[in-house]
């Protein structure tokens, strides 16, 4: 009995390998995917001038967020990064309490500060500017952060399970805002506290 078409014993194997390759993490990078920022690797810091003598370095100890991103096309598909304002920390309790009050963050009325990423503007290999908006004290203003995508790769050890090694994106961002643009004006008239605040963000995000 003759076959109606030539028999290719490796055809099925080739098809199987192609399907397996499509299932690998690297093959899916061309798609828009949701990335969850790892709260244990999300650092949000700031620097602000104090009477011209030195800059105060502070942190927000609680933050979380997510975003959609396509590493191939460099497109951002929305998301939000939430910073809990009552977690502000400058290693000085009285100053921290002042920052939580109505002169600055007013945490009772505004417990969250929210950055919404909108557009990635590439300027080099893994480098660019991230445009978005920042909600602070109930007001929303545009913000641009200089950003560097440090690495996108499968994590070297399990996360969230014995055999779970997700694809992880690590990034470093920084930018400068004027707090007065959001109505925070305490200390400006006497040059006690600077208007410009340098923001520093470091994070690792897992692809979902």
Q: How do the domains of the chain map onto residue ranges?
A: 31-207
- Identify the H or E element spanning 64: strand 63-70
User: Residue 162: its pLDDT value, please?
Assistant: 59
For the whole prediction, is pTM greater than 0.85?
Answer: no
Residues of the chain with pLDDT under 50: 1-3, 5, 7-29
User: Residue 157: its pLDDT value, please?
Assistant: 82
Tell me which CATH homologous superfamily contains domain 31-207.
Lipid/polyisoprenoid-binding, YceI-like (2.40.128.110)
User: Residue 158: its pLDDT value, please?
Assistant: 76
User: Residue 161: its pLDDT value, please?
Assistant: 62
State the Cα–Cα distance between residues 99 and 111, nearest whole angstrom: 12
Taking the CA atoms of residue 146, residue 121, residue 141 and residue 117 in that order, the dihedral angle to the nearest 10 degrees is: -90
User: Residue 23: its pLDDT value, please?
Assistant: 45
Residue 85 near residue 100 (C-beta atoms within 8 A): yes
Per-residue pLDDT tens for 35-57? 999 999 999 999 999 999 999 99
Q: What is the DSSP letter of 185?
A: -
User: Residue 145: its pLDDT value, please?
Assistant: 98
């Amino acid at each position: 009995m003759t076959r109606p078409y030539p028999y290719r014993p490796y055809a099925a194997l080739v098809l199987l390998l192609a399907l397996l390759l499509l299932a690998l993490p690297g093959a899916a990078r061309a798609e828009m995917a949701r990335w969850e920022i790892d709260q244990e690797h999300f650092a949000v810091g700031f620097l602000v001038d104090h009477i011209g003598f030195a800059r105060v370095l502070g942190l927000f100890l609680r933050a979380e967020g997510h975003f959609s991103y396509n590493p191939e096309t460099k497109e951002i598909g929305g998301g939000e990064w939430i910073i809990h304002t009552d977690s502000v920390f400058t290693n000085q309790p009285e100053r921290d309490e002042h920052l939580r009050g109505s002169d600055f963050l007013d945490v009772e009325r505004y417990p969250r500060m929210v950055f919404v990423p909108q557009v990635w503007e590439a300027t080099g290999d893994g480098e660019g500017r991230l445009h978005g908006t920042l909600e602070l004290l109930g007001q929303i203003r545009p913000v641009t952060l200089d950003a560097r995508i440090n690495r996108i790769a499968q994590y070297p050890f399990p996360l969230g399970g014995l055999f779970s090694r997700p694809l992880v994106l690590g990034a470093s961002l920084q930018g400068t805002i004027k707090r007065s643009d959001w109505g925070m004006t305490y200390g400006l008239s006497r040059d006690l506290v600077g208007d410009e605040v340098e923001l520093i963000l470091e994070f690792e995000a897992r692809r979902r």
